[in-house]
Structure formats: C-alpha cells, structure tokens
Amino acid sequence: MIGGCGADFCGTTDASAYDADTDTDTWSAIAAYPEPIAWQACGTVDDRLYCAGGLGSSNNDVAHTYVYDPSSDGWSQLADMPATQWGSTYTAANGRLLLAGGVSNSALTNRSQAFDPKTGAWSALPNPSVPTYRGGGAPGFYKIGGGVAPSAPTPKAELLPGYDQSGPGDVTWLSENTQQLSLEPGASATVAVSLDASVDEVTQPGELIAGLTVGTGTPYSVPRVPVSLHVNPPKTWGKITGTVLGATSSGGTAPLAGATVQIDSWASTYTLTTAADGTYALWLDARNNPLTVIVAKDGYQPTVTTVKIQKGATVTSNFTQGAVERVPSGAVQPRRRRALGTTWARRVGRSTWTGPPDFARADARRGSHRTRSSVHTFTLPEILHRQLELCTTELLARFLMSPRDTWPGAADQGAAPRP
C-alpha cells in the first residue's frame, strides 16, 4: 500500500506490505516512497512494484516513475511520464504498467499510457471513449466505473483487448527438464532448460528475454533466473525500419510516439506502434514485396508510401507527419476549403467500404487480421462541414488499428459507485 490521503490531507510517503506467505497475517512497513503521493498508479511486473504519476502533497501533478525492489527494500527513479496523470484507471499486464484516464492539469483526460520496464520507456495506448477518474482497472485491460465529474459517478465499462497476461506466465519457447525438486541444506541441483525458436509465438528475429521464477517452501526469496534466446532471420527475409517525426508548434520536428504504422503486402497486414523515440521495425520475407506503408496519428496528416525490402538487408523508411490545421468555425472560405483537401488511404478487401467504418464492422468483413488486401487512394470530396478537417486523421487512425488497439464497450455496471 503506497501513499494515500488522511482525514484532511492527501499525499504521504507511507508504504507498507502484507505478508501472505506466513501465518502471521500482518502488515509491515517498507521503504518510504520517494515523495509524498496520493492517487498514483502502481502495478507489479517481474516481482517489482512500479508506481507512476499521482497527486503531490501540494495538490501538484506528479510525472515521476519509481520502482521498488523487495530484495533491497529500496526505490529507484525511472523515466518520467510524458504527461502527468492522477486518479487513473490502472493495472499491470503483458509486462507493462498500464494507465487510462484520470486528471491532468486540473482537467479530465482519456489519455492512455504504458510503461515497459524492459525498455525503460513510456508509450501511448489507444484512448478510451469516456474520460473518467478514480475508476477500477484489471488485466484485460478493463476500465470500470469512476467519475466523469465531482460527485458524478458513471457505470461505464470499457475494454482494451489483448492486455490479459498478468503475473508469471508460460513462455512457449522455454522448457525445463523438471518442475519440482527437493534440496537438503547446503546441497545443489542442476535444472536443464531447452530453447525452441520454431514455436508459433516467435514471429520476429531478435533477442527474446524471459526468466525462471523459483518458488520455495521457506521464508527466503530466490531471485529470478534470466534466460535469453537470440533468433536469427531466415536468409530470404529483410528488415524495414524507420523513424516517424511530427511537426511541432515551433516549426521543427520531434519523434512521434504512439503513431500507427500499417504495413500491407499482397499476403498479409501488420500493424505496429512507434516507440517513445518514434521508431518502428519489422522483419518480413522479401517475397512479400512490394509493401505499402501507411502512417497515421491523431492530430497529424496521414502518410502513404511504397517500399521494397531486400534479402538480408535493412531498408529505412522515415516519415515526417504534418499537423492537421485547426480552422476556427466560421473562418473557412470556399477557396481555403479546396486547399484543405486531403488524400485518404483506405483498405479494400473482399468488400468495398464507402468510408472509414468502425473497426468492429471492418474486422468482421475482413474475417481475420491477416488477410489478402490492397491499398487504394481517393481524394476527399469538397468539405461537407466546416469542422470535418478536425476528425479526418482520427477516423483514419481508428480504422487502421488492429483488434487489440480498440476500446469496445464491456457490460456496464448495474449501478455506479460514487468516486
């Protein structure tokens, strides 16, 4: 239990833990949190506790991230959040700390973020449809209830599919020759492990990292045993990589995190998300050529290009996304409207869509995520409404996203608890 509020204040460094492995049924103090905090987001990944954001003792928004190591009873500071959030819905799943919604700079937000301890970096997640704060979260990623305003609870429930792996899980490419053994005091034993890169879950070359968790019948903890597997690419494969930059208000550019990169070939479709430094990468068989690469991000103009990869080589394809121009209502002139015409890319499968549909409908028509597809372009007709420019990029990005990158509605609660 980390931080919290008292009768007439919020923000404390108090931290405590409950010991569930003994018969004492007691709480005990652990190392104090590095700063007074309340309404932060915490989750356990690989036997360590990660906490981020929250509200400070001076009602100040906090962007700091910390990790607690129980073996040393100490906290260490990690990379700050890209944007502050407190009162978020949160959980830990798929090896990441996940946050959705909350309050930032005294305003309700539906911003979603994820921290990956392996890379030490934050990345953007798809935003839920309803901004809430002080709601409940669980692996799934489920977002339940909360408030939409002070003293205004909501029964709304949403789900971001695909984030359902919690705690130590089975690693299909790693196996052991024994699952249980007994040791006398001072004795030792050898456990043989086998690594297999041919399992279905291994789809990309590179370094795979896992760990063996050892449980004992004693009060003493055993550190995780790290295991790694390096997978080489097949000889017919090539790599496409690049960096996505976004235009800034100062006239420059900066890495664009959380942008959707869709790569289409004659055989398959792959959807990636750029990392905190704006990079993306994918290995493919060169027989997939040519590749159509579509990049989209809320608030930026979508970009489309064609790329050919080479066997055993790396092809770099960088993108610079221009910001969507925000035109005040009533300020658009007919000549200006023609200048704002936008070229859209749309996926065409077995059925032809009249426009960007919602993803659930698109996925049903495609049949599966990996399907034969092609990319066609068409020019956006004369603007039908003065504010249509404000939503074009958002619509495109939504319908480019994969099934795990949406927040479909889950069954709402019967009654809304007060936040």
* Residue 364: both structure tokens together: 């049903």
- Answer yes or no: do 212 and 242 share one domain: no
Beta bridge partners of 293: 263, 305
Asked whether residue 5 is assigned to any structural domain, the reply reads: no
* Residue 148: both structure tokens together: 């939409």
- Answer yes or no: do 202 and 242 share one domain: no
Number of domains comprising the chain = 3
Top-ranked range on mean pLDDT: pick from 100-114, 367-381, 405-419 = 100-114
- Answer yes or no: do 97 and 49 share one domain: yes
Top-ranked range on mean pLDDT: pick from 117-131, 155-169, 212-226 = 117-131
Asked whether residue 1 is assigned to any structural domain, the reply reads: no
CATH number at residue 116: 2.120.10.80
Asked whether residue 8 is assigned to any structural domain, the reply reads: no
Asked whether residue 9 is assigned to any structural domain, the reply reads: no
pTM: 0.53
In whole angstroms, give the CA distance from residue 350 to residue 399: 16
Q: pLDDT-derived band of residue 419, with 50, 70 and 90 as boundaries? A: very low
Q: Report CA-CA distances (Å) from 170 to 198, 212, 221.
A: 16, 10, 20
- Answer yes or no: do 148 and 175 share one domain: no
**Mean pLDDT to the nearest integer, 335-360:** 32
- Answer yes or no: do 292 and 338 share one domain: yes
For residue 249, the model assigns a pLDDT of 84
- Answer yes or no: do 257 and 401 share one domain: yes
- Domain ends where: 121, 139, 163? 163
pLDDT above 70: residue 403 = no
pLDDT digits (tens, 9 = 90+) for 292-332: 999 998 888 899 999 999 999 999 999 998 887 655 545 44
- Domain ends where: 232, 250, 272? 232
- Answer yes or no: do 391 and 245 share one domain: yes
- Answer yes or no: do 223 and 250 share one domain: no
pLDDT above 60: residue 346 = no
- Domain ends where: 232, 248, 277? 232
State the residue range of the domain holding 100. 16-163
pLDDT digits (tens, 9 = 90+) for 181-233: 888 888 888 888 999 988 888 888 988 888 787 777 776 767 778 889 999 99
- Answer yes or no: do 67 and 116 share one domain: yes
Asked whether residue 393 is assigned to any structural domain, the reply reads: yes
Pairing of β 237-247 and β 314-316: parallel
For residue 327, the model assigns a pLDDT of 54
Asked whether residue 213 is assigned to any structural domain, the reply reads: yes
Asked whether residue 54 is assigned to any structural domain, the reply reads: yes
- Answer yes or no: do 352 and 247 share one domain: yes
In whole angstroms, give the CA distance from residue 201 to residue 204: 9
For residue 275, the model assigns a pLDDT of 83
- Answer yes or no: do 223 and 241 share one domain: no
Listed residue (117, 199, 120, 211) closest to 168, CA to CA = 211
- Answer yes or no: do 350 and 393 share one domain: yes
